[in-house]
Amino acid sequence: MKYLISLKRNKDKIQKIINKVYINMNLAILFGGSSFEHEISIVSAITVKKVLKNFSLSFIFCDANREFYLIDSKNMKSNHFSTGAYKKDKKLILKQNGFASKSLFGLKDEKVGTILNLIHGRDGEDGKVASLLEFNHIAYISPRVDASVLSYNKLYTKLYAKSIGVGVVPYTLLNSSDSRDINLEYPVIIKPVRLGSSIGVSIVKSADELDYALDVAFEFDNQVLIEPFIDGVKEYNLAGCKSDKFELSIIEEPNKEEFLDFEKKYLDFSRDGKVGSADISNELKLDIEESFKKVYSSLFEGAIIRCDFFVVNGEVLLNEINPIPGSMANYLFEDFEGMIKRLTSHLPQEADIKIDYSYINSIQSAKGGKVK
Amino acid sequence: MKYLISLKRNKDKIQKIINKVYINMNLAILFGGSSFEHEISIVSAITVKKVLKNFSLSFIFCDANREFYLIDSKNMKSNHFSTGAYKKDKKLILKQNGFASKSLFGLKDEKVGTILNLIHGRDGEDGKVASLLEFNHIAYISPRVDASVLSYNKLYTKLYAKSIGVGVVPYTLLNSSDSRDINLEYPVIIKPVRLGSSIGVSIVKSADELDYALDVAFEFDNQVLIEPFIDGVKEYNLAGCKSDKFELSIIEEPNKEEFLDFEKKYLDFSRDGKVGSADISNELKLDIEESFKKVYSSLFEGAIIRCDFFVVNGEVLLNEINPIPGSMANYLFEDFEGMIKRLTSHLPQEADIKIDYSYINSIQSAKGGKVK
């Protein structure tokens, strides 16, 4: 019996070591960017660093001028960036199959492993970072280019959701050049079509407040969406990804505040503790999960996203897709590290295109080499 | 009188010189790419080189591995690429504000001017090239990232067109995992959702041909569109851009062949002569122009695109958007060179985002510097 317990103990120990070795893979957190959410991205990266204990992590900072720097782990503190001290870190150049740094004898490859894209807002969520990494044959966790464009633009998100049979909150689209002489039932919520978070968003309670709210929103975009503001609407968040199978988080009923101020936003993006599941019926849970899967498949493969749903008269409506949620919504997952590991080995592969010049050769031979 | 004629002659001469000096600007043609249309892009670039006589041109080749090369003007012949001889040209590295080449003492900037994106298909039309250039603060003529994604994907093009009130040919979407047990009225045309040109496209005349055509299309994409094939439908092409105002080409009724074979495709992408306008009523002309403007505004600013329309029972329907048409559809324009020049000085500007770390600073001071 003693022997058996000892065996069991050793087995657990060995399994733990195996797990650790297995999970101890290279992952580079890419953060910063030329984005209104640049600072929030720094907070997000510092949080994810704390959560991913069993990875061998690197940190790549994209500064406001879009230069890349390899940040030493011990320098992952917000004032390292706000003071400009990061400029003393190693500057990186993006190239085919990875990053390089300048050395005396040209360029030296810097091995960083799979990239975890944590740039919120512009650059990270609008398709640019996905493009840079895809073009350069670098493995990455992030929405691909098309998924980024469809989720960065709230109008396209609506068109996409409707096309796959997922309901959305009704909306009116207004261009900055359009007449503002519109009939609305108040209250409404005004949102710039692009940009994440709550930037440029206002709740308008009556017609005389409309003009000012539109002015604010048009500061950030030339198109805005106007939606009915449903006071006290039930809101539920669900995050997830698809590795070899769907991996869904718990469903959270977020603590809603009309607006997140700076401090609250900081708390939101630096969350690393676990939260409780929303108290909802199993039927509603399944409905929300089904809607998430519809939105995710197959467009978002390679990404961990969070979908925010409204439930109105029992119907699940997609409010928005958060293609790169704050601190990757780690606090919603049972096994965040394991999921990242599994996703890393199930990233979508770009199709191979073989270029053999058979077309040019055939034209040249047909024309006796006259095609120049 | 003689004096007046001489004055007039001199004035014309001076004007010509002024035009030439004014137009003699730096433009770099970017072509190739990791794309099924890689070879076609080479043909396109050689054609555009012939047409843009009054520009100071550079040529940047993106090879199948996505390495960039600066090609000497005298080497702009198709066999320079098909034989791999381009590898002896200067290799370029993409960086902030332009390209650089490796030199003995590090990197040397290569001034190339505005980029004209002529990469057809993947990389060029799917948003990747737009992203690379935008991220690196390089001026470029091409659809922006969002415009690329919406026009590269035929399903998103339909959703977009419908959302702006432009009619489209009705369609059925089929995923590779969906049941093929579908009721269709034949003939139909099968198109992979992504990819340009006629790659993977089939006309299916009866149910027993469907399976094979779907197999072919699913070789290239996991989603296909099925549309009614309207035999003898009237088709019209219109190209254009917006500089300080809309600049629209003539409307062409293309010489339709069921399929373009290699030779015909070559002829299509190497067109540099002028063509005649379609013989249509002024009313229809205005309708087509109006539809073009709706599609173009404001999503495609910075690009020269060609829209292919069908006219069915008097209604103008968008068939497809060609975001980077073969040889930039130069043959459709009265003043192609002048238009490129004007467009170059009216390219969309990315909004400036000022990052001043006021948010991190405020959090740090609120917490007495405890935020790490």
Distance in Å, alpha carbon of A13 to nearest chain B alpha carbon: 34
Helix (H) or strand (E) holding A147: helix A145-152
CB contact under 8 A, A222 and B263: no
Exposed (0-12), middle (13-18) or buried (19+): which is B279, by Cβ within 10 Å? Answer: exposed
pLDDT value at residue B170: 95
CB contact under 8 A, A67 and B96: yes
Rounded CA-CA distance A6/B306 in Å is 74
Q: From B172, which residue of chain A is nearest by alpha-carbon distance?
A: A163
Contact A68, A84 (CB under 8 A): no
Chain A contact for B359 (CB, 8 A cutoff):
yes
Chain A contact for B368 (CB, 8 A cutoff):
no
Q: Are strands A90-95 and A98-103 parallel, antiparallel or unpaired?
A: antiparallel
Q: How far apart are the first and last CA of chain A?
A: 84
The arrangement of strands across the sheet holding B114-117 comes to B106-110, B98-103, B90-95, B68-71, B56-62, B26-32, B114-117, B140-141
Output the CA–CA distances (angstroms, integers) from residue A112 to A44, A57, A324, in the order listed: 19, 8, 20
Kindly state the percentage of chain A with pLDDT values over 90: 76
Of A40, A132, A149, the CB nearest to B149: A149
The DSSP line for B212-264 is: HHHHHHHTT-SEEEEEE--TT-EEEEEEEEESSSEEEEEEE-----SS--HHH
CB contact under 8 A, A64 and B126: no
Rounded CA-CA distance A191/A171 in Å is 10
Chain A contact for B2 (CB, 8 A cutoff):
no
Give A88's contacts (C-beta < 8 A, 6+ positions apart).
Answer: none
pLDDT value at residue A57: 96
A158-179 confidence digits (pLDDT tens): 999 999 999 999 999 999 999 9
Phi and psi at residue B56, in whole multiples of 5°?
-90, 105
User: What string of pLDDT tens digits covers the 372 residues of chain B?
Assistant: 455 555 556 666 666 555 555 455 899 999 999 999 999 999 999 999 999 999 999 999 999 999 999 999 999 999 999 999 999 999 999 999 999 998 877 789 999 999 999 999 999 999 999 999 999 999 999 999 999 999 999 999 999 999 999 999 999 999 999 999 999 999 999 999 987 667 789 999 999 999 999 999 999 888 999 999 988 899 999 999 999 999 999 999 987 664 455 566 667 778 888 788 999 999 999 999 999 999 999 999 999 999 999 999 999 999 999 999 999 999 999 999 999 999 999 999 999 999 999 988 887 787 664 544
Q: In the Cβ-directed half-sphere of A251, how many Cα atoms lie within 13 Å?
A: 22
pLDDT value at residue A6: 60
pLDDT value at residue A276: 86
Give B97's contacts (C-beta < 8 A, 6+ positions apart).
Answer: B136, B137, B138
3-state secondary structure of A337: helix
Distance in Å, alpha carbon of B105 to nearest chain A alpha carbon: 8
Rounded CA-CA distance A261/A245 in Å is 37
Cβ-Cβ pairs closer than 8 A, A with B, add up to: 166
Q: From B351, which residue of chain A is nearest by alpha-carbon distance?
A: A220
pTM score > 0.80 for this model? yes
CB contact under 8 A, B39 and A359: yes
Please say if the pLDDT value at position A259 is more than 80. no
Q: Which of residues 103-122 of B touch A (CB under 8 A)?
A: 106-107, 122
Please say if the pLDDT value at position A372 is more than 50. no
Please say if the pLDDT value at position A258 is more than 50. no
Contacts of A130 in chain B (CB under 8 A): 131
pLDDT value at residue A200: 87
Please say if the pLDDT value at position A7 is more than 80. no
Exposed (0-12), middle (13-18) or buried (19+): which is A261, by Cβ within 10 Å? Answer: exposed
ipTM: 0.91
> Helix B262-269 to helix A358-366 angle, to the nearest 10 degrees?
90
Chain A contact for B150 (CB, 8 A cutoff):
yes
CB contact under 8 A, A93 and B96: no
Chain B contact for A78 (CB, 8 A cutoff):
yes
Exposed (0-12), middle (13-18) or buried (19+): which is A77, by Cβ within 10 Å? Answer: middle
Contacts of A106 in chain B (CB under 8 A): 102, 106
CB contact under 8 A, B372 and A77: yes
Of A39, A122, A159, the CB nearest to B357: A39
Chain B contact for A153 (CB, 8 A cutoff):
yes
A33-68 confidence digits (pLDDT tens): 999 999 999 999 999 999 999 999 999 999 999 999
pLDDT value at residue B245: 97
CA A49, A328, A321: angle at the middle one, nearest 5?
160
Give A224's contacts (C-beta < 8 A, 6+ positions apart).
Answer: A173, A174, A190, A191, A192, A193, A214, A217, A218
CB contact under 8 A, A78 and B159: no
Contact A182, A158 (CB under 8 A): no
DSSP 8-state class, residue A185: P
Q: Shortest CA distance to B250 belongs to which of B339, B333, B336, B330?
A: B333
Chain B contact for A149 (CB, 8 A cutoff):
yes
CA A236, A339, A128: angle at the middle one, nearest 5?
75
Q: From A221, which residue of chain B is nearest by alpha-carbon distance?
A: B351
Q: What does the pLDDT average to over A186-213? A: 90
Side chain identity at residue B27, one-letter code = L
Q: What does the pLDDT average to over A65-84? A: 97
Chain A contact for B164 (CB, 8 A cutoff):
no
Contact B141, B303 (CB under 8 A): yes
Contact A171, B154 (CB under 8 A): no
* Mutation choice for A interface testing from B44, B120, B123, B128 by most A CBs within 10 A: B128
Q: From A49, which residue of chain B is nearest by alpha-carbon distance?
A: B372
Chain B contact for A49 (CB, 8 A cutoff):
no
> Helix A145-152 to helix A154-163 angle, to the nearest 10 degrees?
110
Contact B149, B159 (CB under 8 A): no
> Helix A38-51 to helix A262-269 angle, to the nearest 10 degrees?
40
Contact B220, B200 (CB under 8 A): yes
Q: From A297, which residue of chain B is nearest by alpha-carbon distance?
A: B175
Chain A contact for B361 (CB, 8 A cutoff):
yes
A117-165 confidence digits (pLDDT tens): 999 999 999 999 999 999 999 999 999 999 999 999 999 999 999 999 9
